[in-house]
Structure 1
Amino acid sequence: MAGEQPAYRRVADRLRELILSGELAEGARLPSLREIASRYGVATSIATRALDVLRTDGLVVSRPGAGTYVRRFTRIVRKSPGRLAHDRWGAGAAIQDHDTGPRARTVDVVVGDVPAPGFVADALGVEPAAAVLSRSRRFVVEERAVQLATSYLPVELTRGTRIEHTDAGEGGIYARLAEQGVGPTRFTERVIGRSPLPEEAAALGLTADGARVLEITRFAYAGDRCVEVNRMVLDSDAYELSYSFPA
């Protein structure tokens, strides 16, 4: 019938009603895929897609091996340029604290030298494939993976500093750069929307058809010199980007 909703949407709507009405309360475990499929007379693949919709809408979270639970997720408001203000990182505050405040957050950090990708080599003024320091992070907020980020910095600015450690100290890498007299004085960010790469989808837990991410590339400058390139991949359903600037 023309205009009829797909089956997975109908199932998602029924489950959403149970969550919004409180019948499935915060923290409650949803029925298994087989139970959902049996209850609504659909295939388990349809039940899977229905749960994908609820995850995208920020209503549930899946725990590997433990099931899917009601967890209302409020979008993270990423406000710029305030989050990058010198007054914040210069005083030892973490940039992510500006975004998530007291919300539960964990981050996995991997640090090491890598060959500079082309866009990084151009910005940092190094030879293509020259060694640069990479700081790769995966951010999880309230049990939901929301962001992947990789910073690239010239090795001459990182050798023997805490920037080479997984914990760069209070104020993060910008405070450590400032200690060397090359703290950022301005930033440029470029934002595009796209489909996630397979490895990005896996890391962010994006399984729904049509999932989208925001790719943000930030260039940090000390005067005219680019001292860091940060490529971020954000789950577009987890964030709201807010920009303020003078007329």
Structure 2
Amino acid sequence: MLQLGEIDRADPRPPYRQIAAMLREAIESGGLEPGAKLPSEAALMEHFGVARMTARQAIQELRGEGLVIAEHGRGVFVRPMPPVRRLASDRFARAHRAAGKAAFLAEADKAGYQPGVDRIRVARAGAPKGIAERLRVEAETEVIVRERRYLANGRPVEIATSYLPVPVAGGTPVEDVDPGPGGIYARLEDAGHTLERFTEEVGARMPTPDERNALEIGPGVPVLTVVRTAFDTEGAAVEVCDTVKAAPAYLLEYDFPAR
């Protein structure tokens, strides 16, 4: 049973923040597990001897942090957290492609979750300015655009859009909805573009409304942005992948020599 303390009148923090801190500690310690229902406003009012507005402000603070979600007519619940995916620096290793696994499948094996992908769309369109610069082509040059959403144990964790030059990947299985074992990187190498290195630009921000809907996250939950550029052995940029990841679902891990 959830045990909550009492408000300390000598504490400089306002009562609603003290209540929020107790509930936050219960969530972080596992006293309130993912999916558990929080005490109602009435229960908080009775336990702490506060007004309804104080109880409501405490819950609103947790909602703003993305720790809880409100369900109309049912109450407020601890947000169910998707499995943590550790993004290791070896996730694009050729050995994974040789085994028929794209990066997401390789990560699934390591983390022990059931991978999924949906909302796959493949088309040709003009390259946006930032993408064109990374691909070293003129803005609005026609490129192959692959959009998809990734899921871990059925929960959305990432949306990704890849942009590939038509001279590199046009007319290959890269333009198919299912590019085959090993994913698009395996198909690029089949086409003679042996991959040599990747660069990644990592950022963080709040999601757009469309991103929030696609990732099924509520207000107050940030996203990580990772823009990756793949280069072949000739030094040509053969793909730019723009990804938006639900921040609570990821840890970024990088391994590089000290030299």
TM-score by length of 1: 0.78
Distance 1:229 1:191, change over 3 A: same
List gaps (5 residues or longer) in structure 2: 1-8, 46-51
Deviation at 1:98, TM superposition (A): 2.8
Aligned to 1:205: 216
Matched ranges for 1:1-247 at <5 A = 3-4=12-13, 7=16, 10-11=19-20, 13-14=22-23, 17=26, 30=37, 36-41=40-45, 42=52, 47=59, 50-51=62-63, 53=65, 56=67, 71=80, 73-80=82-89, 82-101=90-109, 102-108=112-118, 109-209=120-220, 211-223=221-233, 224-247=235-258
Contact 2:81 2:248 in 1 (8 A): no
Distance 1:36 1:183, change over 3 A: farther
Deviation at 1:133, TM superposition (A): 0.9
User: For residue 198 of structure 1, what is the amino acid of its counterpart?
Assistant: P
- In the alignment, the residues of structure 2 paired with residue 6 and residue 172 of structure 1 have an alpha-carbon distance, to the nearest angstrom, of 53
Contact 2:83 2:152 in 1 (8 A): no
Contact 1:61 1:71 in 2 (8 A): no
User: For residue 50 of structure 1, what is the amino acid of its counterpart?
Assistant: L
- In the alignment, the residues of structure 2 paired with residue 62 and residue 166 of structure 1 have an alpha-carbon distance, to the nearest angstrom, of 37
Deviation at 1:138, TM superposition (A): 1.5
Contact 1:36 1:47 in 2 (8 A): no
Distance 1:125 1:207, change over 3 A: same
Distance 1:192 1:51, change over 3 A: closer
Deviation at 1:113, TM superposition (A): 1.4
User: For residue 196 of structure 2, what is the amino acid of its counterpart?
Assistant: T
The total of aligned residue pairs comes to 236
Distance 1:18 1:138, change over 3 A: closer
- In the alignment, the residues of structure 1 paired with residue 72 and residue 185 of structure 2 have an alpha-carbon distance, to the nearest angstrom, of 36
User: For residue 132 of structure 1, what is the amino acid of its counterpart?
Assistant: V
Please give the root-mean-square deviation of Cα atoms over the aligned residues, in Å.
3.3
- In the alignment, the residues of structure 1 paired with residue 26 and residue 158 of structure 2 have an alpha-carbon distance, to the nearest angstrom, of 29
TM-score by length of 2: 0.75
User: For residue 16 of structure 2, what is the amino acid of its counterpart?
Assistant: A
Secondary structure of the 2:188 match is helix
Bigger radius of gyration among the two = 2
Contact 2:158 2:244 in 1 (8 A): yes
- In the alignment, the residues of structure 1 paired with residue 250 and residue 152 of structure 2 have an alpha-carbon distance, to the nearest angstrom, of 11
- In the alignment, the residues of structure 2 paired with residue 106 and residue 207 of structure 1 have an alpha-carbon distance, to the nearest angstrom, of 21
- In the alignment, the residues of structure 1 paired with residue 206 and residue 116 of structure 2 have an alpha-carbon distance, to the nearest angstrom, of 25
Deviation at 1:19, TM superposition (A): 8.8
List gaps (5 residues or longer) in structure 1: none
